[in-house]
Amino acid sequence: MLDALPLSRKQLRSVVQASARINLWHGAVRSGKTIASLLAWLLAVAEAPPSGLILVVGRSLQTIERNVFEPLADPALFGPVAAQVRHTRGATTATVLGRTGHLIGAADARAEGRLRGLTASLAYVDEATLLPEGFWVQLLARLSVPGARLLATTNMPPRHPFTDRPRPVRHHRNGALISTLIGGRGPMRKAIDRASGNGRKSSIPAGPVESAPWSALSGEAEYRAALAEAFAGVELGEYDRRIIEWVAGWDSPTVATLASLVIRARKAGGAL
């Protein structure tokens, strides 16, 4: 596949780095976001947890077909993998590497109802900033399988409603996620910083945590490092490691607070 489509260095880096819970491809028009994100998504489908649905979301079925399934099914782009992507025009499901993908058009707020009650493990979102905010809240809540991930492309317009209202539902867990996602210090910013090599030191809260520490940690590598720091020197069993790995699949407030609690508890007990 890589021979068929030589990715640019930036595209390749974006694919390799797309290991977070939420991964956004953001950049100039026609800069290769969709192709890079689709490759990352194919890799994600290949290793998606067996439980939970695989969703493909866009503004309408037609835009999903045009932007996602046409390129995926093009052997000139994706080589032999293209034959493993099957979609019939107008159908609301597709088969990708043997897994079923569910296509969901989200043109208006009512589309949110299509997500209710389902559990998803992986979502691909075409043009994220075109989706209604309520749909986002619901979509992020639905990605509840441990290790669930979202991959999305966006051409963030300068006056998108999310950026005009950077903290729409601050105390709602997913709402806060959305605001940090799109806001100036959110994962989108961090993803851009990471891609350009501007790393940032992680910080586990040292004292009592009074509000969700959204910006304490960024990305699963930092989540793992924080947990490793919290449990440093503790003898771990196989199942301990599995649970720590599972916790590392959550978000910054969960992981940073847990790591902080463990470190403070160890300090209180005189272990540190």
Compare residues 2 and 272 and give the one whose CB is closer to ligand ATP: 2
Does the protein bind ligand ATP through residue 85 (CB under 6 A)? Answer: no
* DSSP β-bridge partners for residue 101: 54, 94
Other beta carbons within 10 angstroms of residue 102's beta carbon come to 17
Instruction: Tell whether the torsion through CA atoms of 153, 64, 71 and 82 is positive or negative.
Output: positive
Instruction: Decide whether 31 or 254 has the Cβ nearer to ligand ATP.
Output: 31
Is residue 32 at the binding interface for ligand ATP, with CB under 6 A as the rule? Answer: yes
Q: Does 252 participate in binding ligand ATP (rule CB under 6 A)?
A: no
- Closest separation in Å from C-beta 64 to ligand ATP: 13
SS3 232: coil
Reading across the β-sheet that carries 85-86, which strands appear in turn? 22-26, 149-154, 120-125, 53-58, 99-105, 93-96, 85-86
Q: Which pair of tokens denotes residue 142?
A: 């639905």
- Phi, psi angle pair for 107, to nearest 5°: -75, -30
Q: Which is nearer to ligand ATP, 53 or 123 (CB)?
A: 123
Residue 252, binding choice from Mg ion, ligand ATP, none, Cβ under 5 to 8 Å by partner class: none
- Sole binder of ligand ATP in the list 17, 19, 31, 60 (CB under 6 A): 31
Q: What is the largest CA-CA distance in the chain?
A: 64
Using the minimum distance from each CB to ligand ATP, give the nearer residue, 128 or 227.
128
CB of 184 to Mg ion, least distance (A): 23
Tell me which residues in 145-164 interact with Mg ion (CB under 5 A). Answer: 153
Interface residues with ligand ATP (CB under 6 A) are 5-8, 11, 29-35, 77, 153, 155
